[in-house]
Amino acid sequence: MKGKIWTLMAVLVVVSLVLGACAPAATPTPTPKPKPTTPPPTPKPKLKITVATDATWPPCEYVDETTKEFVGFDIDLMKAIAEAADFEVEFVNVGWDPLLAGMATGQYDAAISAMTITEERAKQWDFSEPYFVAGQLIAVRVDETTIKGPDDLAGKVAGAQLGTTGAIYVEENIPGATLKTYDDISQAFLDLINGQIDAVVADDPLVEAMVRKYSEVLWVGGLLTGEDYGIAVKKGAPEILEAINKGLKIVKDQGLLEQLKAKWIEVEAPAAITVGQVTDMGGIDDKSFNATAWNGIEMAVEKLGAEGKFLESQVQADYAKNIQQFLDEELDLIVTVGFLLGVDTAKAAIANPDQSFAIVDYAYPDCWPGAEPGKDCGSDTEIPNVLGLTFATDEAAFLAGYLAAGMSKTGKVGAFGGIKIPTVTIFMKGLEAGVKYYNQVHGTSVEILGWDTAADEGLFTGNFESTDDGRRFAESLMDEGADIIMPVAGPVGLGSAAACKERGTMLIGVDTDWYISAPEFKETYLTSILKNMHVAVFDACKAVADGTFAGGVYVGTLKNDGVGIASYHEYADDVPAALDSELEQIKADLIAGTITVDGVLGL
């Protein structure tokens, strides 16, 4: 039994060994091989575009005087385009001519500078889609009355920036005009203001900006052209052109372009204003004092869309009554004219501090020791709502006196006034100083009749209305030997002009150019002493319209063209060239202060 058992156990062992040998061996876990790594892609550098601009063209591109940074419509637009299309922009400020040349040679990637897309320019470089529609406008001085549109520029000098569509327009479309070109358009406007040229032709955003900057300038007529602004891109740079157009489309779609237009260009026009003039007793059509001031309001009606009206004063009692009528009508500006309205204007202005006033030939404070404000004088302090429009008329009268002394054949120059008030005697004082200075320079002894500054005495009619008195006083002076007469008496002087015409005597007008205001006596006028009241009144109206009006004192001088003398008209060929040259030097010396009226008179 045991034997059987052991035999069985041996068999089982053998079988288990066989089975174990036949079983598959255990497979070890393989070690994973590392996968090959791909380096991250190198980021593409951001596109950088160099953009040229001529930063002398507000409001599109110019240099901020405080921060010295480039600012303007075009600058903000280009920055917005760059942000929208995700590229960098670097601005380079260059002149207009170098900008055009640099774009033609590929020196700059692009240019944004209020640039009109033209067929000729498109041959030299590519353009973005248009982003603004502009046109040419004509700018003139505010006192210019003969230029209404392009046809009126024939025989005139028009300024424009070199190489611009403004210069092209003048050359191609205005026959008879003389074109003067500038590297910097700002200089053209300064020459316009100073009377060196007659007009400037430039893009309407720029002209409108200059009109806002300079009160001496306005635009006339409408747009002469329709032009698309575009961003210039150098030839052979499709990536740059595509990026700019992409950004421009986004800016347009988001409404940002319209926002930038509203910020920089589409300035809201001022509301129309109402202006009233209260005359002195000379009347609105005195062809002199009141008429010249009224011309300033007429300019405001034409140029600013103002409503203008006047009230004529027949007697001094009318001054306060007429001022009150305009106060009741709640006008935006009341203009009173003349020394005699000083007290009534002050009383009304003090009682109505929210009402704007301008007074011609007067200013505050005007009181003297012992004077009672509101009775003897207007105010012993400045009145904040009154702008006094005053004029250094003696400077211009000095020139007229020197001219008269040089032209007199009898050696006697006569003068008389209407009423003995400072705004009348200032003419006579300046005339006397000019005659005396001529005597000092030339060793002559020309006399002045009708006024003596040292004695503070002279001839006065006592009114500003009677032409009969004007004739009588002029004839009296001529009987004393005067062959040149200066009446400072408003319409009274027209009687003098008639007497001078009959006797073949010369006359010097005052306040305005009598050759224009009273041409029936044109052969008598040697010159006129100009007091540019119309410009000062217009400037006051404009200040009210644009919300910048402030009280104080304006003084018109030779330096700022507030006063001057008119041309010699029919005596142009009779005035010696040497005398005319001396007058130019004397004007310069008066402006510089090396000659003064008081100094010549020994005051």
Question: pLDDT above 70 covers what percent of the chain?
Answer: 92
Reduced to 3 states (helix: H, G, I; strand: E, B; else coil), residue 569 is: helix
Cα(441)–Cα(436) distance, integer angstroms: 9
- Measuring CA to CA, which residue among 603, 566, 564, 536 is closest to residue 277? 536
Give the dihedral of Cα atoms 336, 515, 488, 285; nearest 10 deg. Answer: -40
CATH topology assigned to domain 48-130+234-264: D-Maltodextrin-Binding Protein; domain 2 (3.40.190)
Chain Cα centroid distance, residue 287: 28
Residue 19: its pLDDT value, please? 36
Provide the token pair at 399.
Answer: 């020139």
Q: 356, exposed or middle or buried, with CB in 10 Å at 0-12, 13-18, 19+?
A: buried
DSSP H or E run through 210: helix 204-213
Backbone dihedral angles phi then psi of residue 427, each to the nearest 5 degrees: -65, -45
Q: Are 380 and 414 in contact (CB under 8 A)?
A: no
Beta-carbon contacts of 398 under 8 Å, excluding residues fewer than 6 positions away, are: 430, 431, 433, 434, 437, 586, 590, 595, 597, 600
What are the strands, taking DSSP E only, across 128-282? 132-134, 136-141, 157-161, 178-182, 199-203, 217-220, 227-229, 232-233, 274-278
Does 438 have pLDDT greater than 90? yes
Amino acid at 293: A
Chain Cα centroid distance, residue 66: 21
Q: Which pLDDT band holds residue 286 (cuts at 50, 70, 90)?
A: confident
CATH topology assigned to domain 136-225: D-Maltodextrin-Binding Protein; domain 2 (3.40.190)
Q: Which pLDDT band holds residue 289 (cuts at 50, 70, 90)?
A: confident
Reduced to 3 states (helix: H, G, I; strand: E, B; else coil), residue 52 is: strand
pLDDT in tens, 468-527: 999 999 999 999 999 999 999 999 999 999 999 999 999 999 999 999 889 999 999 999
Does 298 have pLDDT greater than 60? yes
The edge-to-edge listing of strands for the beta sheet with 525-531 is: 447-449, 412-417, 484-488, 506-511, 525-531, 563-565
Residue 4: its pLDDT value, please? 34
CATH topology assigned to domain 397-529+568-598: Rossmann fold (3.40.50)
Q: At what angle do helices 73-85 and 238-253 cross, to 10 degrees?
A: 100
DSSP H or E run through 386: strand 386-391
The C-alpha R_g of the chain, in whole angstroms, comes to: 40
Mean pLDDT of 151-169: 94
Residue 148: its pLDDT value, please? 87
- Measuring CA to CA, which residue among 538, 535, 529, 531 is closest to residue 507? 529
Q: Which pLDDT band holds residue 305 (cuts at 50, 70, 90)?
A: confident
Write down the pTM of the prediction: 0.65
Residue 10: its pLDDT value, please? 39
| Whole-number average pLDDT of the chain | 90
Residue 479: its pLDDT value, please? 98
Does 11 have pLDDT greater than 60? no
Mean pLDDT of 25-44: 59
Residue range 274-391 in CATH 3.40.50.2300? yes
Domains of the chain by residue range: 48-130+234-264, 136-225, 274-391, 397-529+568-598
Same fold, 274-391 and 397-529+568-598: yes
Choice between 544 and 39, residue whose per-residue pLDDT is larger: 544
Q: What does the DSSP 8-state code read for residue 319?
A: H
Cα(78)–Cα(74) distance, integer angstroms: 6
- Measuring CA to CA, which residue among 557, 541, 544, 515 is closest to residue 299? 541
pLDDT in tens, 352-404: 999 999 999 999 999 999 999 999 999 999 999 999 999 999 999 999 999 99
Mean pLDDT of 35-46: 68
